[in-house]
């Protein structure tokens, strides 16, 4: 294993300091407990949008702190939920009279710790749970995982909160975006967790993991490595079956890299996916291509489709200024 680190146990803290230094015009780092908040606070009465999760998925969530998106992000250790005290401290720092909305990926640790934090808050709060991964059946015992669709949810809720939408409206909007979003990924290699010093799982050179989770969880199946067009067809068919879009509907298409796949390949995947849905009458009106919800150094990608209406499209286009997502400012 070759990694640009000093000691695995200090990797998160060292990285957070570097992130805060590189983007000191946008974010401020709180050391104990760790969280990142907007450097320029939102307006008085604004709903504070807070998310977080285990590190190793950068730029999710820290890279999305700023105007038009998150007010604060709580980074846990690698692939480990942040703690309730992080969430409470972040809420205390950014809540300005409009209450707190937590955006939580559907993992047991995240759900449990955000629920514990909610019970300690002295302000109104609500939670949006993201469960966009259609690799798992809807009736799976732990529910579906929250994956790359989280970026879409955070952007649209963040825009609404910036405009002055109240807590109930932001919560309802977030739930609506979750229902309109489906994702699925494929791994070509495993990821390597520095503290373990070895890959999470083994894949032969001629194998791929279809429906892999962003922590290296098993997918739907392991099968022979396919071509890009074959892989896109596998992922897109599962997403299309879930969302059942009608001809003429508009959509946002997000092709997300898992950490070690170059943009050259991701744009090829985007072209294939766009062709797939265009051939079925879906109009892809917005796109997002790149590494946004990663899994350390995993090679592979995920595809996310979000069905849009006029309101969701307007909120997606609204100004955003964060370290990793910015336009209209």
**Cα 136 from Cα 113, distance rounded (Å):** 23
**23 belongs to the catalytic site:** no
Q: Would strands 100-105 and 48-55 be described as parallel, antiparallel, or unpaired?
A: parallel
How far is it, in rounded angstroms, from Cα 148 to Cα 290?
11
Give yes or no for a contact between 184 and 302, defined as CB atoms under 8 angstroms apart. yes
| CA gap 28, 39 in Å, rounded | 5
How far from the centroid of its chain's Cα atoms is residue 143's Cα? 17
- Location of structure tokens 């797939």: 276
Catalytic residue among 215, 240, 254, 321: 215
Contact 260, 189 (CB under 8 A): yes
| Residue 68, phi then psi, degrees to nearest 5 | 80, 10
Token reading at 280: 């079925």
* Known catalytic membership, residue 321: no
CB count within 10 Å of CB 126 equals 17
Residue 246, sorted as left (phi over 0), alpha (psi -120 to 50) or beta, turns out to be beta
**Angle formed by the axes of helices 84-94 and 108-119, to 10°?**
50
Using CA atoms, how far apart are residues 205 and 224, in angstroms rounded to an integer? 9
Helix (H), strand (E) at residue 33? none
Cα separation, 108 vs 145, whole angstroms: 10
How far, in Å, CA of 69 to CA of 277, rounded? 28
**Furthest CA-CA distance within the chain:** 55
Q: What span, in angstroms and rounded, lies between the C-alpha atoms of 269 and 70?
A: 29
Which residue among 23, 34, 57, 254 is the active-site one? 57
Catalytic residues: 57, 215
């Amino acid at each position: 294993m070759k990694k640009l680190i000093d000691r695995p146990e200090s990797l998160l803290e060292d990285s957070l300091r570097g992130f805060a230094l590189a983007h000191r015009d946008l974010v401020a780092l709180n050391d104990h407990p760790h969280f990142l908040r907007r450097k320029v606070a939102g307006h008085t009465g604004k709903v504070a949008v807070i998310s977080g999760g285990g590190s190793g998925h950068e730029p999710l969530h820290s890279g999305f702190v700023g105007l038009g998106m998150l007010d604060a992000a709580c980074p846990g250790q690698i692939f480990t939920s942040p703690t309730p005290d992080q969430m409470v401290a972040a809420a205390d720092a950014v809540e300005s009279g409009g209450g707190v909305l937590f955006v939580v990926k559907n993992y047991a640790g995240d759900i449990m710790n955000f629920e514990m934090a909610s019970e300690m808050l002295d302000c109104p709060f609500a939670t949006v749970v993201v469960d966009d991964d259609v690799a798992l059946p809807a009736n799976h015992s732990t529910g579906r995982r929250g994956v790359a669709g989280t970026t879409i949810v955070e952007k649209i809720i963040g825009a609404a909160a910036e405009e002055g939408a109240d807590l109930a409206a932001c919560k309802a909007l977030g739930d609506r975006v979750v229902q309109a979003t489906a994702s699925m990924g494929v791994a070509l290699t495993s990821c390597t967790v520095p503290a373990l010093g070895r890959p999470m799982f083994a894949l032969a050179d001629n194998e791929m993991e279809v429906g892999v989770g962003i922590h290296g969880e098993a997918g739907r199946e392991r099968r022979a490595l396919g071509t890009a067009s074959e892989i896109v067809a596998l992922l897109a068919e599962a997403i299309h079956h879930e969302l059942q879009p009608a001809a003429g509907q508009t959509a946002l298409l997000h092709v997300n890299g898992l950490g070690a796949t170059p943009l050259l390949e991701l744009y090829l995947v985007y072209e294939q996916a766009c062709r797939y849905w265009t051939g079925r009458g879906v109009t892809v009106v917005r796109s997002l291509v790149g590494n946004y919800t990663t899994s350390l150094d995993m090679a592979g990608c995920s595809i996310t489709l979000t069905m849009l209406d006029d309101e969701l499209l307007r909120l997606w286009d609204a100004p955003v200024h964060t370290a990793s997502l910015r336009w209209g400012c």
